[in-house]
């Protein structure tokens, strides 16, 4: 019985150390730059024009979480699968696990809201926008 307890404790410690080891890596800023460079290199010139904005642009700070008819940037629906994966990897690097989970769920709920609001809705609901 004692051997079983020892095995369980050793297994738990091993898993905990493995989990901590998986979290160790480049600092978040370095990861974000790496993923941003990777994302941008996957885009063609037309997509890059939509995805990149000058830092001193007034539009850079004019954003809202509410649905809008027109949005700045490159929509997820206008990306291929590899580009979407790269964009979401960048988003994940920029947010905490809780923040990324929340953002992902909000995107998924756009489809639910579209159904609940029906065809007479005031806003376009598109999780890929």
In a domain, 11, yes or no: no
In three-state secondary structure terms, 63 is: coil
Ordered DSSP codes for 51-69: H---TT-GGGG---SS--S
Q: Which domain holds residue 103?
A: 28-117
In a domain, 17, yes or no: no
Q: What is the largest CA-CA distance in the chain?
A: 68
- pLDDT surpassing 50 at residue 40: yes
pLDDT at 58: 85
* Local structure of residue 43 (DSSP, 8 states): S
pTM of the full predicted structure? 0.68
In a domain, 93, yes or no: yes
In a domain, 103, yes or no: yes
pLDDT at 22: 47
In a domain, 127, yes or no: no
């Amino acid at each position: 019985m004692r051997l079983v307890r020892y095995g369980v404790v050793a297994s738990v410690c091993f898993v905990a150390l493995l989990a901590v080891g998986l979290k160790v890596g480049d600092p978040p800023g370095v990861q974000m730059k790496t993923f941003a460079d990777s994302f941008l290199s996957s885009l063609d010139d037309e997509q890059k024009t939509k995805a990149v904005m000058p830092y001193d642009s007034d539009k850079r700070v004019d954003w809202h979480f509410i649905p809008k008819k027109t949005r700045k940037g490159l929509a997820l629906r206008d990306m291929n699968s590899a580009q979407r994966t790269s964009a979401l990897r960048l988003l994940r690097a920029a947010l905490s696990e809780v923040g990324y989970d929340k953002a992902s769920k909000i995107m998924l709920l756009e489809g639910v809201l579209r159904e609940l609001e029906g065809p007479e809705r005031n806003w376009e609901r598109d999780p890929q926008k």
